[in-house]
Structures are given as structure tokens and as C-alpha cells.
Amino acid sequence: MKTRTAAFPFRKLSPNWKKNPRNNANGLYSEYTPAKAQPRRGFLCLFLHTLLWLWQANPILAAQAAAPLKIATWNMDWLLDATAPSSLTAPSDIPHRTASDFAKLAAYAQHLNADIIGFQEVDSLETAARIFPASTYQIFLTQDPIIQHTGLAVRRDLRITLNPDVTSLTIGSGAASHPLRSGLDATLYYGASKVRLLVVHLKTGCWDNPPTDRGHSCPILVQQFSALQRWVADRQKQREDFIIMGDFNRRMTRDDPFFGRLSHIAPLDLTTAGWASPCENGTYFIDHILLGGNSIDWKIPHSLHVLTYNRQETSTLSDHCAVSVKLLIPSSSQQ
């Protein structure tokens, strides 16, 4: 659950970042692509025709273009089974959902239509399966003995294995008002490519304060980023391609010192950099997808999307919107 705060001052992201997203014809869903100034239509058409020609002329690119993977992150906002005994340990002010609310969330998940979803704040496999049906997705959760988990929903035709949870992200839990969450670590096998996936949900409160701030949960977030630094360094040492996604509870930009602690270890693509989110009528991204290794080159340009909710929506959904990008992962050993 996030707390809305006043926008912090930094360079202007986009002149229309609070523009109302366009709804589709039935008015239920809107998948919004953040956009800066648009190129002239004639130039855009020429660019697209040129890109298509290059794909057709290059068999490797053509093969990649046939099977893009959509990667998403989505904080589900205290999604739990209210009848489970563990729900008694949840705060009293969390969202309370009906069967209809679950059904509407599942409809949004179907519209999202992602191949891999890193999610946060879900209590059990059974609850996750109400949103991401087991007929379509494999579902994985961390082993934390708490009510909030990070997890993965992965299409059944994709091969994936779990690695040990990144429990180092729970460091400082004794000083936190709520237990901290481990990161879910998995390996995706796609053709000849192997990609490490890490799903995180970091400590809230240190939205844009400097690392030296002794309040606002910043000391805990510093420790968590140190754990992420070690994880990235291990990937760099093993020459592994990787993706980190989740709720960072941090308004990261390329100039953010917290992001700098990671990009100093290895080159990274902060896919949300330079944009603000249309979620909740305009806010800054705290949900991010970071690409490392060859995955930086796999990103489809301008594929960043935010799945926003209908403005007249009355269901209890989430205070976060799903954020996604698309990748063209090589199916052969040529990269």
C-alpha cells in the first residue's frame, strides 16, 4: 500500500504526464503509453517501414519479432483471503474485497495479457490464482512467514526454475513497523537464453530523500539497496542477463543516488526513467522494471505501458497500476 505525497521537484518529465488516458471502446480498460512530443506522422511512417524492412532483411531480428515477451510488475495492494486465519494479523484499514472485486481484478489481469508478472502484497498461492488462473499461469511465492509476499505469475509454456529467496532484503526488519519482504529469485529459460528474474518490494517512506537522511525509512532502504548491489554484482560476475522488477517505493530517475548505487555495479536500463505514471490521474513511478546484461538490448522501444483503471470504476482494485515492457529475447545462441 502506498501513501500519496506531494510531488517532489525535479526536471520536467513530460508536458502531458497528467493527461487523461484514452479508454478503449468498451470503457473498461486503458493501457496507456507515456509519450513525449510525437514525431510528425510522415516521418513516423517512414521510420516504421524502414524498421520493418530491416527486420525482414535480418533473419535474427525477424525471428525475435515473432515472439516478444511482455514483462509486468503489479502491486496488488493487500490482496488476501479474508477468511484465512492469517488475515487476522492484517491492519484494519486495508482494502476489503468482495468476490466481484476479485473478478474485476482478474479481468484487468486478462486484459494486461502479460507473459511474466512480478507481483507484490499477496498472501497465498490460492489468492494469486484467483487473479492469474492456474490454467494459464504458473505461480510462485516467496517463503516468508508473513501475510505479504512477492511472487511471479509465468505463462505455462515458459520454462522457469526458482532460486533461493533473497532474504537479505529483510535486513532491518526489527526496526521496521511491518516485516520486510524477501525478493523472489527465478531463472527463465527461453530458447538458448537464460535470464535471472528478481521481484522486489522494498521499504516504503524514503521516496526521494538522500541516502544520508536518517529518517523516512531511508536507513532501511539503504541496507536493502546494498543487498541489491550484491545481487547485481553476482549477476555481473556470472555474466548473467537479468531483470529486477517490483515496488521499489522510490521515485527513481537516472540521477537518483539510490539508482546510481546499482548502475555503478553494472549498466542498467531504468525503463521508467524520464516518465511519470498516469496511474491515479498522475503520479511518479515507484514501480520499476530494471534491465541488465543483454536484456538492455532486448527491450522493444516505446513499449512501456501502464494499465490504468476506468475512471468510473467502483470496484476495490489496487492503489497501484500494472507497469509493463516488451522484450525480444533471442531464441538462438546469437545475441
**Tell me: the pLDDT tens digits for 286-320?**
999 999 999 999 999 999 999 999 988 899 999 99
Collapsing DSSP states into helix, strand and coil, what is residue 59?
Answer: helix
**Tell me: the pLDDT tens digits for 100-129?**
999 999 999 999 999 999 999 999 999 999
Q: Band of the pLDDT at 90, cuts 50, 70, 90?
A: confident
Residues 6 and 58: their CA atoms lie apart, in Å, by: 48
- Tell whether the torsion through CA atoms of 46, 49, 53 and 54 is positive or negative: positive
* The pLDDT value given to residue 21: 37
- Which is nearest to 152 in space by CA: 170, 134, 165, 140? 140
Residue showing cell 530458447: 191
Among the residues of 165-320, which ranges form H helices?
218-238, 257-263, 295-298
Length of the chain: 335
* The pLDDT value given to residue 11: 32
Beta strand residue intervals within 49-208, DSSP E: 69-79, 116-122, 137-141, 149-155, 159-162, 184-190, 193-201
268-272-276 Cα angle (round to 5): 155
CB 183 within 8 A of CB 198: yes
- Which is nearest to 157 in space by CA: 116, 111, 103? 116
- The answer, yes or no, to whether residue 143 has pLDDT greater than 50, is yes
* The pLDDT value given to residue 114: 98
* Segment 42-50 long-range contacts (CB within 8 Å, at least 24 positions apart): none
Q: Band of the pLDDT at 258, cuts 50, 70, 90?
A: very high
Query: How many Cα atoms sit within 13 Å of 306 on the Cβ side?
Result: 32
**Tell me: the pLDDT tens digits for 74-88?**
999 999 998 877 777
